[in-house]
């Protein structure tokens, strides 16, 4: 059976996404240590700078992502993927040459403004995949993200010890360069919708306005923000919580890394399998079930008394996350015409970046007021809100439901008038 173009695009984009996520996460294990090499000392100052470096990247990404998404609808999605990966390769390579923490801060700010590989790759794959295969495609792309997230810190930690921090930034840049070149050489984008979506006389920001004015789509983007927020609110607490559970046993860093890797592997397995299932039951149902499972599994984490208990629960959470993230991507795609998916994923990437930035800050606030354990209940509450919000506020158009099940509706066959946003139903 010959490989169809969308299948080749999906395969190449997934491999490139693994390489790029490995590159981004390569420096995570030693970034605080690199900060010390740049002249910042003291636990408090190092923690502050590490948080600031992450925060400015998320902020600039949140601002830039909708702009890049709108430009993708105008000029094509492939060029935006290659732009994001090749820009990241240059910027991260330059980080290895930084002479002080202020130069590193400037580069991290630029990184957020010029990268955004996940939303760019999702827009490319979604624009080329048949609607009845969106769940599968987004599941495979999310598996690629989980795989890179699991492998990157592990490989980066080994490289940092073996080759030094500065050389490791160059290795990270090589991963990103390889991903960008793969897409540039092997992906052939079908651009049939670009001219209809973004005529030259129409400013690109009007496309962003179209997305923001669509009630169901805006509700879904709010859900994307909440999903990222709920998932990241726990991350800053876990290492210290595991250290507390370990007591004098030690090895908290190694155990934390193993738990993150296990959860990442669970998410990767879940994304690939659940993505195909969501093509049959619908991404909305899959997202609601994943959020509900995540909420239920977050509650017992408040009560755990042993490391193995939190390890088991976090791996199970990984399966729930693996269902939520690709389902949210596929559901987003079902709410918008193909020619507007770049803009939609750009706005979604902005919401995701804001959630990524605000989640850890909220965790710090909760810990300061009530301690570490209530953070898990905070995550449970947020995931419950997501399940209810998507159930009652996000309504998939009848056309999208029909097409997702392989039956193109008669209305779509009779009229091919280009519409920026798929029709939606408002709720009271």
Distances (CA, A) of 343 to 77, 95, 232, 420: 10, 30, 24, 10
Q: What is the Rg, in whole angstroms, of the alpha carbon atoms belonging to the chain?
A: 21
pLDDT at 235 over 80: no
- What's residue 54's pLDDT? 76
Separation CA 124–CA 77 (nearest Å): 5
CA 285 to chain centre: 20
Span 268-305, pLDDT tens digits: 888 777 766 777 788 888 889 999 999 999 999 999 99
- pLDDT for res 72: 82
- Give the pLDDT score at 405: 43
> What pLDDT shows up at residue 422?
31
Q: How far apart are CA 195 and CA 73, in angstroms?
A: 8
Q: Could you give the C-alpha distances from 158 to 52, 171, 258, 352, in angstroms and in order?
A: 25, 12, 14, 30
pLDDT of 215 reads 65
Higher confidence at residue 248 or residue 227?
A: 227
* Residues 45-72: tens digit of each pLDDT: 776 787 678 778 888 888 888 888 888 8
Q: How confident is the model at residue 376 (pLDDT cuts 50, 70, 90)?
A: very high
Q: Which CATH fold would you assign to the domain 5-184+206-414?
A: Growth Hormone; Chain: A; (1.20.1250)
- In whole angstroms, give the CA distance from residue 258 to residue 363: 22
CA angle 138, 69, 81 (to 5 degrees): 65
To the nearest whole percent, how much of the chain has pLDDT over 70?
82
Please report the pLDDT score of residue 426 as a whole number: 33
Most confident of 136-145, 200-209, 227-236, 301-310: 301-310
What residue segments make up the domains of the chain, in order of their start? 5-184+206-414
* Residues 306-364: tens digit of each pLDDT: 999 999 999 999 889 888 877 887 788 777 777 677 778 778 878 888 887 788 778 77
Backbone angles phi, psi at 209, to 5 degrees: -60, -40
**Among the ranges 165-174, 226-235, 345-354, 415-424, which has the highest mean pLDDT value?**
165-174
Spatial separation of the C-alpha atoms in residues 227 and 207, rounded to whole Å:
24
- The more confident residue out of 166 and 227 is 166
Quick one: which of 383, 280, 399 has its CA closest to 337?
Answer: 399
Report whether pLDDT(74) > 50: yes
């Amino acid at each position: 059976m010959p490989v169809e173009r969308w299948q080749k695009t999906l395969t190449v984009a997934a491999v490139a996404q693994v390489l790029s996520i490995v590159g981004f996460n390569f420096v995570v294990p030693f970034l605080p240590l690199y900060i010390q090499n740049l002249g910042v000392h003291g636990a408090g100052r190092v923690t502050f700078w590490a948080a600031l470096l992450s925060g400015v990247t998320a902020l600039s990404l949140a601002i830039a992502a909708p702009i890049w998404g709108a430009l993708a609808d105008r000029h094509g999605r492939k060029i935006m993927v290659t732009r994001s990966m090749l820009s990241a390769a240059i910027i991260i390579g330059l980080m290895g040459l930084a002479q002080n923490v202020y130069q590193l801060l400037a580069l991290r700010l630029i990184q957020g403004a010029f990268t955004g590989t996940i939303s760019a790759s999702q827009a490319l794959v979604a624009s080329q995949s048949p609607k009845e295969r969106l769940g599968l495609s987004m599941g495979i792309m999310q598996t690629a993200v989980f795989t890179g997230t699991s492998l990157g810190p592990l490989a980066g930690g080994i490289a940092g010890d073996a080759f030094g921090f500065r050389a490791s930034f160059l290795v990270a840049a090589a991963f990103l360069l390889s991903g960008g070149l793969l897409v540039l050489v092997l992906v052939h984008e079908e651009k049939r919708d670009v001219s209809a979506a973004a005529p030259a006389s129409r400013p690109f920001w009007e496309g962003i306005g179209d997305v923001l004015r669509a009630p169901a789509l805006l509700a879904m983007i709010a859900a994307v923000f909440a999903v990222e927020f709920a998932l990241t609110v726990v991350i800053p607490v876990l290492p210290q919580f595991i250290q507390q559970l370990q007591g004098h046993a030690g090895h908290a860093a190694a155990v934390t890394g193993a738990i993150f890797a296990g959860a990442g592997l669970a998410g990767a397995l879940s994304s690939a399998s659940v993505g195909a299932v969501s093509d049959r039951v619908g991404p909305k149902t899959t997202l609601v079930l994943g959020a509900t499972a995540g909420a239920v599994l977050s509650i017992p984490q408040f009560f755990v008394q042993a490391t193995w208990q939190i390890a088991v629960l976090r791996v199970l959470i990984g399966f729930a996350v693996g269902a939520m993230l690709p389902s949210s991507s596929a559901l987003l795609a079902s709410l918008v015409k193909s020619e507007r998916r770049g803009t939609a994923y750009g706005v979604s990437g902005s919401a995701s970046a804001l959630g990524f930035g605000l989640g850890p800050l909220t965790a710090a606030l909760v810990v300061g007021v009530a301690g570490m354990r209530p953070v898990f209940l905070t995550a449970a509450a947020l995931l419950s809100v997501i399940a209810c919000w998507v159930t009652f506020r996000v309504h998939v158009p009848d056309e999208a439901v029909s097409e997702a099940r392989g039956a193109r509706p008669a209305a779509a066959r009779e009229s091919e008038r280009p519409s920026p946003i798929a029709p939606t139903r408002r709720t009271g």
